[in-house]
Amino acid sequence: MTIPTPALHAAAERFGTPLYVYDAAELDAALARVRAAFGPARVYYAMKANPNLTLLRRLQAAGVGFECVSPGELARAEAVGASGGQILVNGPAKSGAEYVSGARLGATFIVDREEEVGLLPPHSRALVRVNPALEVSTHDHLATGAAGSKFGVTLVQAPRVLEALRGAGHTALGLHVHIGSAIRDAQDFTAAFGRLAELRAETGPLAVLDAGGGWGLDADLHGIAREAWAAARAFDADLWVEPGRYLVARAGTLLTRVVGHKRTGRNFCLVDAGMTELLRPMLYGAEHPVTALWEGTDCGVWDIAGPACESGDLLARDVSLPTPRRGDLLAIGEAGAYGAAMASTYLSRSRPAEALYEPGAADGTDWTVIRRRETPQDIWAMELGRNR
């Protein structure tokens, strides 16, 4: 994140907090790093990480397609003008709606179980998601390629499902694997791609290998790309990838103001954002870098606590900070992925505004609001009893 501190203060002042800010330069840089590592692989952004239309448009303009897992995500892809080969429809329990919109948009389907072969719209293009049955280096809830997880077909079933697709008149493009998110150890990818490549003897050549996403932010992308391409070449296939977090996490920062502090058994820095704005620490024990945007020499160790009446509503623990005062500003980093996307209206809290930082953009200002703050009226607008 390269947004200068005075610009962060200015945005918090102008748009209020809690506030998500995104650095356009870092978004572009992340995509450039992916392209440098993966070369001609086709990139599908897993929009679950952050579905903001402005970000989608920016990625689409750079030639990126979209991986979608719900009717709403497909509607977003359509809203930014994506169609055909630019859209993948994924998910372990697709409803009828995903098949209908996916077919209308000419998308490619990722088949997650054999039964889906009979549910696909006629003459679909499809990949088969394989579960390589591996334990991987991430939080249990983020691991999707373990033997006990609900995703994909087994290595034994995969060739049969490809055959079934062909038999039903679909185009069986190839195989798909995604072993989880925020994976720390690159060896996990090596193992997963290796297990898929062993299927070559049974499947014969394929048009596509989709190597999924899941790369940790500090991952050796070139190493992962080397292994993914080796597996793709084993099938004489093109390589597709589906990064979510890697493309948007570092670009995003959650700005939150200190509302006060207290010292009990622990030191609590109380802020105006919490689990409703950034769920990852509570959901996955995720650790986000925290930066104090105020000066002070009296450093202590603080837990950053949100306003929800939930003991787990902590954004970070044991953070070294100068003593916080009411009104001070904190920056929670690496929050561009699964941050705003997972924000909720629990406690009737309005989801935060989002602003993009792009110095000298079209209108000459550095900031563009790309989502306004929700109001209480937005939240209850769908409730039918309010006028009775």
Ligand X SMILES: Cc1ncc(COP(=O)(O)O)c(C=O)c1O
What is the contact surface with ligand X in residues (CB under 6 A)?
46, 48-49, 67, 90, 144, 178, 181-182, 212-215, 242-246, 337
| Cα–Cα distance, 335 to 252 (Å, whole number) | 5
- Of 203, 248, 187, 219, nearest to 51 by C-alpha is 248
338 is in an annotated binding site: yes
Candidates 68, 269, 299, 309; catalytic one: 309
336 is in an annotated binding site: no
- Of 214, 217, 197, nearest to 205 by C-alpha is 197
Is 309 part of the annotated catalytic residue set?
yes
- Of 278, 343, 340, 284, nearest to 304 by C-alpha is 278
| Cα–Cα distance, 108 to 74 (Å, whole number) | 12
- Cα-Cα-Cα-Cα torsion 234, 199, 110, 105, nearest 10 degrees, comes to 40
280 is in an annotated binding site: yes
Residue appearing with tokens 């809830």:
141
Angle of the 221-234 helix axis to the 24-38 helix axis, nearest 10 = 40
245 is in an annotated binding site: yes
| Cα–Cα distance, 279 to 212 (Å, whole number) | 23
Q: What secondary structure does DSSP assign to 68-137, as a single string?
A: E-SHHHHHHHHHTT--GGGEEE--TT--HHHHHHHHHHTPEEEE-SGGGGGTSPTT-EEEEEB------S
Residue whose CB is less far from ligand X, 12 or 211: 211
* Residue 211 beta carbon to ligand X: minimum distance, rounded to whole angstroms: 10
Residue 157's CB is within 10 A of a number of other CB atoms, namely 16
373 is in an annotated binding site: no
266 is in an annotated binding site: no
Residue whose CB is less far from ligand X, 170 or 245: 245
- Cα atoms in the Cβ-side hemisphere of radius 13 Å centred on 48: 15
Q: Which amino acid is at 132?
A: P
The token duo for 291 is 């930066």
Residue whose CB is less far from ligand X, 259 or 342: 342
243 is in an annotated binding site: yes
Annotated binding residues, as ranges?
Answer: 214, 242-245, 280, 284, 310, 338
Annotated binding residues for pyridoxal 5'-phosphate, as ranges?
Answer: 214, 242-245, 338
By annotation, the residues acting in catalysis are 309
Annotated binding residues for substrate, as ranges?
Answer: 245, 280, 284, 310, 338
